[in-house]
Amino acid sequence: MARAGVTVDRLTRAAADLADEVGFQNVTVSALARGFGVKPAALYAHVKDIRELRVRVAELALGEMADRAAAALAGRSGKEALVPFAAAYRTYAKEHPGRYAATQLELDSESLDVSAGRRHAELTRAVLRGYDLAEPDQTDALRMLSSTLHGYVTLEMAGGFRRHPREVDASWSRALDALDAVLRNWPPA
Amino acid sequence: MARAGVTVDRLTRAAADLADEVGFQNVTVSALARGFGVKPAALYAHVKDIRELRVRVAELALGEMADRAAAALAGRSGKEALVPFAAAYRTYAKEHPGRYAATQLELDSESLDVSAGRRHAELTRAVLRGYDLAEPDQTDALRMLSSTLHGYVTLEMAGGFRRHPREVDASWSRALDALDAVLRNWPPA
DNA sequence: TGCAAATACTTAAAGGCTGTAAGAAGGGGT
DNA sequence: ACCCCTTCTTACAGCCTTTAAGTATTTGCA
Please state which of the ranges B1-15, B55-69, B162-176 shows the lowest mean pLDDT.
Answer: B1-15
Chain B residue numbers with beta carbons less than 8 Å from the beta carbon of A146 are 151, 155, 160
pTM (2 decimals)?
0.95
Q: Does A189 touch chain B (CB under 8 A)?
A: yes
Inform me whether the pLDDT recorded for A113 exceeds 80: no
Measure Cα distances from B132 to A109, A166, A177, B119 in Å: 44, 18, 18, 20
Name residues 98-157 of chain B within 8 A of A (Cβ): 104-108, 113, 121, 135-137, 139-141, 143-144, 146-152, 154-155
| Cα–Cα distance for residue pair B26/A171, rounded to 1 Å | 35
Percent of chain A with pLDDT over 70: 95
pLDDT for B112: 59
Q: What is the pLDDT of residues A42-76, one digit of tens each?
A: 999 999 999 999 999 999 999 999 999 999 999 99
Percent of chain B with pLDDT over 70: 95
Partner residue facing B159 (CB), from A106, A151, A162: A106
Measure Cα distances from A168 to A155, B22, B47, B167 in Å: 11, 35, 36, 33
| Cα–Cα distance for residue pair B117/B125, rounded to 1 Å | 13
For nucleotide D8, the protein residue with its alpha carbon nearest to C1' is: B42
To the nearest whole Å, the CA of B177 is away from the closest chain A CA by: 7
pLDDT for A109: 65
Inform me whether the pLDDT recorded for A106 exceeds 90: no
Inform me whether the pLDDT recorded for B1 exceeds 90: no
To the nearest whole Å, the CA of B158 is away from the closest chain A CA by: 5
End-to-end CA distance of chain A: 69
pLDDT for A64: 97
Which positions on chain C have an atom < 7 Å from some protein CB? 7-13, 16-22, 25-27
Pairwise CB contact (< 8 Å): A155 & B147: yes
Percent of chain B with pLDDT over 90: 88
Pairwise CB contact (< 8 Å): A178 & B104: no
Pairwise CB contact (< 8 Å): B158 & A106: yes
Chain B residue numbers with beta carbons less than 8 Å from the beta carbon of A105 are 158
| Cα–Cα distance for residue pair B57/B42, rounded to 1 Å | 19
CA of B45 to C1' of D6 (A): 9
